[in-house]
């Protein structure tokens, strides 16, 4: 068989290729020749020598023929400058024409009417549970000048892929006002190497746009902007905004970009386009801006003009100029900028005449008039009511704070701003304006804008003496007097937080409100930003329908401020070391540790033992607070602590040792789900007891780069299982539910804190030991702060230490959001074992050995403490030994009894014989005189008697011989007690 026939498959493939080439050549003959508009040039990948080829690529396949042949292109290191583009025909850099711009070695994105080419956005479900949310619509949304993220719990990702011919950078501006949203930016290159984890965290902004800059590696880079909202409770998260994304390192751009509407580039070779001034406009790709007609207006950077409405009273506001040398101020009227109304239209109002002179208001308390035109703070150690400064008397200290009740100029620590409903800055610079007796909101650009006034306080410092009416744990107090006038659904908000945007709403007032006062207690010492925000209406509107509505604040007073001024003095303690006067502003000397100051004097007295001193009110004996049951004061008398031991006198002394529970313990509630199915938990951290240097329970907010921590005995945070940032969980919204230990007892109520027994039904006769805690941080829902009770229940069967449970009726640990209750079942909650907890068992005597064994009483109600004694062995005597001993003893006793019986019988018979003999002798001698009163037996009688009654000696005779008592003359003495016997003896004699 021929060689070619050995491979019929290969022959068929060659024939197919030839047919395809022939068909392509036939089709090419029928296609027209390509024109310049039918193709574009591209560069091939760079080879190992750093060179490349320029090739022509048809815009549409199979539409023309005769493409230019490939030619050698520029070196890979070639690049164009900013304002230039690469002309692929000549392979040279050319300047961009007027009305266009380029970044040269980069690309920029500042128009967000639609998602630019190369960008891709998608939403994903980050929940780790079985319930999956629909996140298809949770994407980044273009908003014209910027792009906004999602605000739900889905993860929204914005990506852009770029190939860099050299090392470059990416820079962008972002607005990140809400810490309940996680926002990260990271880059992955073609080696799948990501940026460092710490650089991925974006720091939240306060009131303005921030910029971010990251270096990029050569090659392919994928840029990721990713957000996830964790506002589980309120659901009102504010979006993250992006704008002005610029990327360098692409080496060249083959085209220039047209200026967007509202911007222009006047000359060729522009690197960027400039915005049009106010009252001018431009179209896309403009080289200049056109002025609006006289009856029209346009804001800066506008692409079109709008008709001017007639001016109204709400289009202007009034303010006061600084005081002059004569102590007078001018009343000035100004149009709201930018001015959009027309004064020449029929029915339009005119701007009132300015220049009316008024007397300047006095200085605020704590300030004095250095001259007639300005107010200066009083020197340290002095105070004022707004006129002259007065030195505090000896033994007193200045009362520091701020009190604003005259409004000639805006205080230096206050600022006013306008924010639109999309949280972007407004062109307006004035929202609140001073008016002498008060400060008020000026008419807004839009009715939905927020007119904000912020007061920044660096911190608080409690001096050693303070007003006695301040309750415990009150650090400072802010009080303000306000008024609102509304014709729609206006709202005045009052918030407090670490910044203008990272804050928490305290109170709100809707509708018209008469002049009234409001006070807020401050219990946490940190830099605070108080914000007042007035909104004419909630609905978004492009008009000014309710501009006449306003809010006024007449006075603001805040106490115990670091760096504040003094508006009074009070008594203070003397005799101890001086404190830091730079913070306190005076020369007050505190009492020693554990002392309080006597009322109306500077004398320091010692507090009773085991009590703490209220540092914010060390005046009077009521400043000494006794520690709760089973707690003691710490070294500086500032708090009550527990050393994890407890002694209870209840049916005997019971001793407890909770030191194995002293380490910080974490546990979670059951899973919760949002409306989209996102699973989350409430995580609690507990630091039960221990020494003064014990670790504290810590709850964190790890959503943003500037982490916030909450410390105390007990705290709570909301955690979401997630792979976000390669972390197992995301923690947010931490707060304390137990700062202070109140006491440790078995009672179910302590200091107005209750631990209901029905929350955790008892299954043992042993009492639960309850730890009581209180947190002084107040909220609108918990105006008296939060409380926590932890029941320790003895359960020897529990082998682990972290079995904490929540009430079945309150699965989140609390039923009202203010009182939290937990049960901790552990063997370490049992009393320490003692001798009364075990008993002894004594065995029988086996082979002369007796065993004593010790066992625990059942049911076992103790742990650790005294161990069981070891088994004891002791010698013993068995029963057969005692039986033998008893028989022998009984036998001996019987024999002895028989011998004694015989002896006394023999003795009795002998006495009877003697008596009979005496009686016989007495009968023979009745007429003779009686003999001596003696019954003695003469010697020789015994022998006769013995011969009569005995023929030989018996045992009784031997006993008798031993027992007989002889007199000194050698005769036995036998007394006879009858009188007849005496007479018989006398006759015989």
CA dihedral 105, 111, 115, 117 (to 10 degrees): -30
**pLDDT tens digits along 471-514:** 445 678 899 999 999 988 889 999 888 776 667 788 889 889 99
**pLDDT tens digits along 11-37:** 555 566 565 555 555 555 667 888 877
The burial of 129, by beta-carbon neighbours within 10 Å (0-12 exposed, 13-18 middle, 19 or more buried), is given as: middle
Q: How many CB atoms lie within 10 A of CB 300?
A: 13
Predicted confidence at residue 772, as pLDDT, reads 96
Comparison of pLDDT for 576 and 121, the residue scoring more: 121
- Give 53's pLDDT tier (boundaries 50, 70, 90): confident
Predicted confidence at residue 21, as pLDDT, reads 58
Give the Å distances, CA to CA, from 512 to 444, 505, 538, 550.
Answer: 18, 20, 15, 9
Q: Give the single-character DSSP code of 55.
A: E
Which residues make Cβ contacts (< 8 Å) with residue 5, sequence separation at least 6? none
Give the whole-angstrom CA distance, residue 479 versus residue 484: 17
- Nearest 5°: the CA angle 659, 700, 228 is 145
Predicted confidence at residue 948, as pLDDT, reads 42
How high is the mean pLDDT of the chain? 79
Q: How many CB atoms lie within 10 A of CB 915?
A: 15
**Has residue 575 got a pLDDT over 70?**
no
Give the whole-angstrom CA distance, residue 338 versus residue 282: 18
How large a percentage of the chain has pLDDT more than 90?
A: 17
- Give 1's pLDDT tier (boundaries 50, 70, 90): very low
Q: Please check whether residue 806 is in contact with residue 813, taking contact to mean a CB–CB distance below 8 angstroms.
A: yes
Token pair in block for residue 285: 């790709």
Token pair in block for residue 92: 């040279």
Predicted confidence at residue 982, as pLDDT, reads 41
The burial of 183, by beta-carbon neighbours within 10 Å (0-12 exposed, 13-18 middle, 19 or more buried), is given as: buried
**Has residue 580 got a pLDDT over 50?**
no
SS3 (DSSP) at 582: helix
Comparison of pLDDT for 303 and 963, the residue scoring more: 303
Comparison of pLDDT for 572 and 751, the residue scoring more: 751
Predicted confidence at residue 786, as pLDDT, reads 92
**pLDDT tens digits along 428-461:** 557 898 888 899 998 766 777 888 899 999 888 7
Give the Å distances, CA to CA, from 910 to 841, 919, 936, 957, 974.
Answer: 63, 14, 14, 11, 12
**pLDDT tens digits along 161-207:** 888 877 888 999 998 877 778 888 989 887 665 655 456 778 877 66
**pLDDT tens digits along 379-403:** 888 889 888 898 887 667 788 889 9
**pLDDT tens digits along 632-673:** 988 878 889 999 999 988 777 889 999 989 889 998 888 888
**Has residue 209 got a pLDDT over 50?**
yes
Span 213-219, mean pLDDT?
86
**pLDDT tens digits along 55-113:** 888 878 777 887 887 887 777 767 788 888 888 888 888 899 999 998 888 888 888 88
Predicted confidence at residue 987, as pLDDT, reads 43
Span 513-517, mean pLDDT?
89
**Has residue 237 got a pLDDT over 80?**
no
Span 610-618, mean pLDDT?
74
Give the whole-angstrom CA distance, residue 826 versus residue 833: 15
Strands annotated E in 92-180: 92-95, 100-101, 106-109, 119-124, 141-142, 147-148, 155-164, 168-175
Q: Give the single-character DSSP code of 741.
A: E
Which residues make Cβ contacts (< 8 Å) with residue 390, sequence separation at least 6? 382, 383, 384
Comparison of pLDDT for 290 and 81, the residue scoring more: 290
Q: Please check whether residue 385 is in contact with residue 368, taking contact to mean a CB–CB distance below 8 angstroms.
A: no
Rounded to the nearest angstrom, the gap between the alpha carbon of residue 685 and the centroid of all alpha carbons in its chain is 8
Q: Give the single-character DSSP code of 761.
A: -
Taken as a whole, the chain contains a residue count of 989
Span 733-754, mean pLDDT?
92
**Has residue 221 got a pLDDT over 80?**
yes
- Give 421's pLDDT tier (boundaries 50, 70, 90): low
Taking alpha carbons only, the member of 290, 547, 512, 305 closest to residue 431 is 547
Span 772-798, mean pLDDT?
87
Predicted confidence at residue 819, as pLDDT, reads 93
Comparison of pLDDT for 950 and 529, the residue scoring more: 529
- Most confident option among 15-24, 127-136, 852-861: 852-861
Give the Å distances, CA to CA, from 833 to 308, 651, 857.
Answer: 89, 14, 11
Q: Where do runs of H (alpha helix) occur along 291-347?
A: none
Taking alpha carbons only, the member of 159, 112, 155 closest to residue 136 is 155
């Amino acid at each position: 068989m021929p060689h070619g026939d050995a491979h019929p498959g290969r022959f068929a493939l060659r024939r197919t290729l030839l047919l395809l080439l022939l068909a392509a050549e036939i089709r090419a003959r029928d296609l027209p020749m390509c024109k310049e508009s039918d193709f574009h040039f591209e560069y091939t990948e760079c080879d190992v020598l750093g060179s490349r080829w320029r090739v022509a690529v048809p815009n549409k396949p199979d539409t023309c023929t005769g493409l230019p042949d490939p030619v050698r292109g520029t070196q890979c290191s070639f690049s164009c400058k900013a304002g230039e583009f690469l002309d692929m025909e000549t392979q040279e850099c050319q300047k961009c024409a007027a009305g266009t711009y380029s970044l040269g070695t980069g690309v920029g994105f500042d128009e967000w009417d639609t998602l630019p080419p190369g960008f891709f956005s998608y939403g994903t479900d980050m929940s780790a549970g079985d319930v999956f949310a629909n996140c298809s619509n949770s994407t980044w949304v273009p908003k014209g000048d910027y792009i906004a993220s999602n605000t739900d719990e889905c993860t929204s990702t914005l990506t852009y892929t770029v190939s860099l011919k050299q090392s470059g950078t990416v820079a962008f501006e972002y607005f990140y006002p809400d810490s309940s949203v996680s926002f990260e930016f990271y880059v992955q290159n073609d080696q799948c190497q990501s940026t460092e984890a710490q650089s991925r965290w974006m720091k939240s902004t306060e009131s303005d746009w921030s910029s971010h800059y990251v270096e990029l590696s050569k090659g392919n880079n994928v840029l990721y902007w990713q957000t996830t909202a964790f506002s589980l409770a309120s659901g009102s998260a504010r979006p993250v905004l992006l704008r002005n994304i610029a990327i360098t390192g692409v080496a060249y751009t083959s085209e220039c970009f047209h200026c967007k509407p509202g911007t222009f580039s006047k000359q060729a070779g522009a690197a960027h386009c400039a915005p049009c001034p106010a009252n001018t406009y431009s179209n896309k790709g403009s080289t200049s801006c056109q002025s609006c007609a006289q009856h029209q207006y346009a804001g800066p950077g506008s692409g079109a003009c709008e008709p001017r409405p007639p001016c109204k009273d709400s289009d202007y506001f009034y303010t006061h100029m600084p005081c002059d040398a004569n102590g007078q101020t001018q009343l000035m009227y100004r149009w709201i900028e930018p001015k959009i109304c027309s004064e020449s239209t029929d029915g339009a109002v005119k701007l009132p005449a300015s220049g009316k002179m008024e007397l300047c208001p006095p200085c605020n308390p704590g300030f004095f008039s250095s001259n007639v035109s300005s107010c200066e703070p009083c020197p340290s150690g002095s105070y004022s009511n707004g006129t002259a400064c007065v030195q505090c008397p000896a033994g007193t200290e200045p009362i520091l704070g701020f009190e604003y009740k005259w409004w000639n100029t805006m205080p230096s620590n206050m600022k006013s701003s306008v924010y639109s409903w999309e949280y972007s800055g407004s062109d307006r610079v004035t929202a609140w304006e001073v008016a002498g007796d008060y400060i008020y909101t000026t008419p807004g650009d839009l009715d939905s804008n927020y007119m904000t006034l912020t007061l920044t306080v660096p911190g608080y410092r409690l001096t050693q003496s303070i007003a006695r009416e301040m309750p415990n744990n009150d650090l400072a107090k802010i009080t303000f007097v306000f008024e609102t006038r509304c014709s729609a659904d206006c709202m005045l908000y009052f918030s407090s937080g670490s910044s203008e945007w990272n804050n928490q709403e305290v109170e709100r007032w809707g509708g018209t409100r008469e002049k009234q006062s409001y006070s807020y207690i401050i219990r946490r010492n940190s830099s605070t930003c108080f914000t007042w925000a007035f909104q004419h209406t909630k609905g978004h509107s492009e008009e000014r329908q309710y501009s006449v509505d306003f809010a006024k604040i007449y006075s603001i007073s805040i106490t115990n401020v670091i760096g504040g001024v003094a508006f009074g003095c009070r008594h203070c303690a003397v005799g101890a070391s001086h404190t830091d006067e730079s913070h306190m502003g005076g020369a007050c000397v505190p009492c020693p540790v554990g002392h309080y100051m006597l009322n109306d004097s500077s004398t320091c007295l010692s507090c009773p033992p085991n009590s703490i001193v209220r540092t914010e009110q060390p005046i009077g004996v009521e400043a000494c607070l006794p520690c709760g049951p089973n707690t003691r004061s710490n070294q500086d008398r500032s708090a009550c602590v527990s050393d994890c031991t407890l002694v209870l006198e209840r049916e005997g002394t019971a001793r407890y040792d909770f030191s194995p529970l002293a380490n910080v313990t974490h546990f979670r509630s059951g899973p919760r789900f949002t409306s989209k199915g996102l699973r989350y938990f409430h995580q609690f951290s507990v630091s039960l007891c221990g020494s003064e240097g014990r670790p504290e329970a810590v709850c964190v907010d790890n959503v943003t780069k500037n982490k916030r921590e909450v410390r105390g005995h007990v705290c709570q945070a909301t955690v979401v299982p997630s792979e976000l940032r390669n972390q197992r969980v995301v923690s947010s919204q931490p707060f304390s539910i137990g700062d202070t230990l109140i006491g440790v007892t078995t009672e179910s109520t302590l200091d107005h804190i209750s631990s209901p027994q029905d929350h955790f039904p008892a299954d043992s006769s042993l009492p639960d030991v309850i730890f009581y805690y209180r947190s002084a941080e107040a909220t609108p829902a918990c105006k008296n702060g939060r409380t926590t009770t932890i029941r320790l229940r003895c359960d020897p069967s529990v082998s682990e230490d972290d079995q904490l449970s929540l009430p079945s009726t309150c699965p989140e640990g609390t039923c009202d959001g203010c009182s939290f209750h937990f049960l901790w079942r552990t063997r370490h909650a049992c009393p320490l074992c003692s001798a009364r907890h075990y008993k002894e068992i004594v065995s029988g005597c086996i082979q002369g050995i007796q065993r004593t064994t010790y066992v625990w009483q059942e049911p076992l109600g103790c742990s650790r403490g005294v161990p069981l004694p070891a088994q004891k062995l002791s010698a013993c005597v068995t029963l057969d030994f005692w039986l033998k001993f008893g028989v022998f003893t009984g036998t001996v006793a019987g024999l002895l009894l028989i011998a004694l019986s015989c002896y006394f019988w023999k003795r009795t018979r002998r006495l009877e014989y003697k008596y009979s003999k005496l009686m016989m002798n007495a009968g023979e001698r009745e007429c003779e005189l009686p003999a001596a009163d003696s019954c003695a037996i003469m010697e020789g009688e015994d022998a006769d008697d013995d011969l009569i009654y005995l023929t030989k000696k018996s045992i009784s005779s031997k006993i008798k011989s031993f027992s007989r008592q002889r007199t000194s003359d050698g005769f036995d003495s036998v007394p006879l007690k009858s009188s007849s016997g005496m007479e018989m003896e006398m006759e015989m004699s």
